[in-house]
Amino acid sequence: MTTTPSSDTDADRALKARHRAMWALGDYPAVAADLIPELGAALVDAVRVVDGDDVLDVAAGSGNAAIPAALAGGRVVASDLCPDLLDAGQARAAERGAVLDWQVGDAEALPFPDGRFDVVLSCVGVMFAPRHRCCADEMVRVTRPGGRIGLVNWTPEGFIGEMFAAMKPYAPAPPPGAQPPPLWGRPDHVRTLFGDRITDVRERRGAVRIGSFGTAEAFRDYFKANYGPTIAAYRNVAGDPEKVAALDHDLAALARRYDLGGGAMDWEYLMLTAARADARAR
Question: pLDDT per residue over 225-272, tens digit each?
Answer: 999 999 999 999 999 999 999 999 999 999 999 999 988 999 999 999
Confidence of residue 123 (pLDDT cuts 50, 70, 90): very high
pTM for the model stands at 0.94
Q: What is the model's pLDDT at position 8?
A: 65
- All structural domains of the chain, each given as residue ranges with its CATH number in brackets, are 10-155+178-207+269-281 (3.40.50.150)
Choose from 13-22, 155-164, 169-178 the range with maximum mean pLDDT.
155-164
List of residues 6+ apart from 11 with CB closer than 8 A: 175
pLDDT tens digits for range 85-96 = 999 999 999 999
Confidence of residue 277 (pLDDT cuts 50, 70, 90): very high
> In the predicted model, is pLDDT for residue 3 greater than 60?
no
Q: What is the model's pLDDT at position 4?
A: 42
Q: What is the model's pLDDT at position 11?
A: 77
Is residue 171 a contact partner of residue 247, using CB atoms and an 8 Å limit? no
Q: Are strands 198-210 and 265-276 parallel, antiparallel or unpaired?
A: antiparallel
Mean predicted confidence (pLDDT) in 2-20: 71
Mean predicted confidence (pLDDT) in 206-231: 96
Burial 55-90 (b: 16+ CB within 10 A, else e): bbbbbbbbbbbbbbbbbbebbbbbbbbbebbbebbb
**Helix, strand, or coil here: 127?**
helix
What percentage of residues in the chain have a pLDDT greater than 70? 96
Residue among 104, 157, 108 at smallest CA distance from 128? 108
Q: Residue 207's beta-bridge partner residues? A: 268
